[in-house]
Amino acid sequence: MSLLDKKKLQKPKPFLKWVGGKTQLIKEISQLINDQFSTDLNFTYIEPFVGGGAVLFHILANFTNLNNLIINDLNLTLINAYQLIKKDYQELILLLSEIEQEFYNLNSLEEKKVFYLQKREHFNQIDDHLLPLEKTVLLLFLNKTCFNGLYRVNQKGKFNVPFGKYEKPTICNQNNLISVHHYLEKVTILQGDFQETLNYAKKSTLFYLDPPYKPINLTSAFNSYASTNFDDQEQIRLKLFCDQINDQGHYFILSNSDLKNFDQDNTFFDQLYQKYQIKRVKARRNINSKGDKRGELFELLITNF
Ligand SMILES: C[S@@+](CC[C@H](N)C(=O)[O-])C[C@H]1O[C@@H](n2cnc3c(N)ncnc32)[C@H](O)[C@@H]1O
């Protein structure tokens, strides 16, 4: 696609809602990138926990000189969706608009709920390897119609989020899908463990790491993006990965929950990352369903520069 055609595209936005969306932190992250890379805007960008890609899409839209971007996630269904949209959007848009129309044609929320539950059941039966297109269509549909756009699976890996009771949500955002398709052209998309992404680092590389957050209190223990948990051992393994990045002369920005929001004495991350820069940034997170816990919270931005 020519530069002129690309200019006609809208700026790409995440095509899925994903818990941990980084909208509030994006300004801080952009600033860090601008400060560090102002003279070399041709660095490699690697995002090992891409999720909904809030930061990725911001970077694609605003740092247009970048040509070497790599994203990764452990979630196969999610990564299949990225790969599929990168390859072709036409069939996806066709199937998704059909399902959107079917949903809109239903007269009551009760009927919509039955429809939603049928699609959820179907989604859970589809093998990601066999029918990636069908699975992606249903992923996008469920994401826009389920409660709060959550992605949560049980121990058996089955998606179990309840119906969101929305009358007419936008299910097929055609212009955005087209834009995402074009912007993903220069992005390498991987599926697997974060550790593997180190093999893709080149001379000047920035890693942005947004792992499943360590719960700040027991009621916010939401980190089941996958049927395996990202526990303290995983947080420690991630810190060792950051050390490798650092030792090889690359850069990292890592975000995580600030455990001090609820317990001033909790120094888990302060100790773990004591040799790096730790900044506490105001952010809002809407994971808790209890209204009173939705206030301002701090998050950590940890960097090696
Ligand atoms: C907090 S989310 C990322 C949020 C994302 N940056 C956004 O803006 O929406 C964390 C992601 O890490 C993924 N994940 C969990 N364990 C992983 C691992 N060992 N390696 C790579 N990705 C992993 C989950 O599937 C999830 O998508």
Predicted confidence at residue 42, as pLDDT, reads 85
Predicted confidence at residue 284, as pLDDT, reads 65
Predicted confidence at residue 262, as pLDDT, reads 84
Q: What average pLDDT does this structure show over 199-203?
A: 95
Is the beta carbon of 196 within 6 A of some atom in ligand 1? no
Q: What average pLDDT does this structure show over 125-153?
A: 95
Alpha-carbon 171 to chain mean position: 18
Provide the CATH number for the domain formed by 84-173 in this structure.
1.10.1020.10
Predicted confidence at residue 217, as pLDDT, reads 60
Asked if the model's pLDDT at residue 178 lies above 80, the reply is yes
Task: Indicate which atom in ligand 1 lies nearest the CA of residue 73.
Answer: 22
* Residue whose structure tokens are 């994903």: 18
* Residue whose structure tokens are 């690697």: 46
Q: Where are the domains of the chain?
A: 3-74+192-303, 84-173
Is the beta carbon of 164 within 6 A of some atom in ligand 1? no
Arithmetic mean of pLDDT over the chain: 90
What band does 292 get if pLDDT is binned at 50, 70 and 90? very low
Q: What average pLDDT does this structure show over 267-274?
A: 96
The residue contributing the CA closest to ligand 1 atom 14 is 74
Is the beta carbon of 194 within 6 A of some atom in ligand 1? yes
Is the beta carbon of 226 within 6 A of some atom in ligand 1? yes
Helices first, then strands: H and E counts in the chain: 10, 7
For the chain, what's the residue count? 305
* Residue whose structure tokens are 């223990």: 221
Task: Indicate which atom in ligand 1 lies nearest the CA of residue 14.
Answer: 9
Task: Indicate which atom in ligand 1 lies nearest the CA of residue 211.
Answer: 10
Asked if the model's pLDDT at residue 286 lies above 70, the reply is no
Residues 3-62 have pLDDT tens digits of 656 667 899 999 998 876 576 799 999 999 999 988 777 899 999 999 999 999 999 999
Is the beta carbon of 20 within 6 A of some atom in ligand 1? yes
Do the Cβ atoms of 208 and 47 come closer than 8 Å?
yes
Is the beta carbon of 15 within 6 A of some atom in ligand 1? no
CATH of 3-74+192-303, one of 3.40.50.2300, 3.10.50.40, 3.40.50.150, 3.40.605.10: 3.40.50.150
